[in-house]
Homo-oligomer: A and B are copies of this chain.
Amino acid sequence: MHQRGRKLETNKRTTLRQLVLFKEVPVELLYQFEATAQILTVERGDVLKHQAEPSDCYFVVQAGCCRLVQHSTQGRDVTLETFVADDVIGLVIALQGRKYPGTIESLKTGVVIRLSTATMLEVVDSYPLFYRNIMNMMRLRLLDAHERIRELSTEPVEQRIARSLVRLVRKLGDVWGDGRLSFDVALSRQDLAQFSGTTLETVSRVLKSWERENIVETGRERIIVLDLSKMRAIARGY
């Protein structure tokens, strides 16, 4: 993970302006954010923030994909959220000076903008637009978290894996010409297990059985959904 050179620095303003977070924000205000913004290129496995690290900044994903992962005591990690383009990471935590509930980690090559909390702290009270945006983001995340709680509480593993895939397709899916869907992220059985609350062996078995029914095609760290409607049906419990 490193800062880009001058070439990208000059594009900082346009980059910021394109973000949903700064939509409808006056240009002169944007200058303030620009001053301390850093554009970072990240690689798979790069860590933006470690668990329990205190925070003086927040991030916006411009390209690529990051995740929030929580490390449990006996080595079983759980992926709590995924962030893709335009998603804001750790803003509220930063505004309130709290610690990260997990590690923020990049899943692939991408671009992330690092913003200092100070600027936002200064101006946020004068721009309800920011608050409304933040509230909506949080509402959606809470909704998602509640969904997952219900799924983990009541649904069998196969269904949960299907749900994870459908959810990931929606966020990271790459539609091909022939209607097939793949992920442009290296997605291991282990990763999928962490999304679904199960083990890598079970994921492997389920994927294999789906492959026999031509619902997916699998490879090393690669999953292609051939039949999304069947996938959705399984996710709904049929």
Chain A residues close to B by CB (< 8 Å): 70, 72-74, 76, 78, 80, 92-93, 95-96, 98, 101-102, 124-125, 128, 131, 134-136, 138-139, 141-143, 145-146, 148-150, 152-154, 194, 197, 237
Contact = CB atoms under 8 A, between A and B. Distances in A.
A72 B150 contact: yes
B197 A154 contact: yes
Nearest to A125: B128
Given A145-B149, A153-B197, 10 more contacts: A78-B153, A101-B146, A125-B128, A135-B138, A138-B138, A138-B139, A142-B145, A149-B197, A152-B197, A153-B194
A146 B237 CA distance: 24
Copies per assembly: 2
A197 B96 CA distance: 32
A80 B134 CA distance: 22
Contacts of A154: 72, 74, 76, 78, 197
A164 B53 CA distance: 27
A218 B9 CA distance: 65
A139 B93 contact: yes
29 contacts: A70-B146, A70-B150, A72-B154, A74-B154, A76-B153, A78-B149, A80-B150, A92-B135, A92-B138, A92-B139, A93-B139, A95-B135, A96-B135, A96-B139, A98-B139, A101-B146, A102-B146, A124-B128, A125-B128, A128-B131, A141-B142, A142-B142, A142-B145, A145-B145, A145-B149, A148-B149, A149-B152, A153-B197, A154-B197
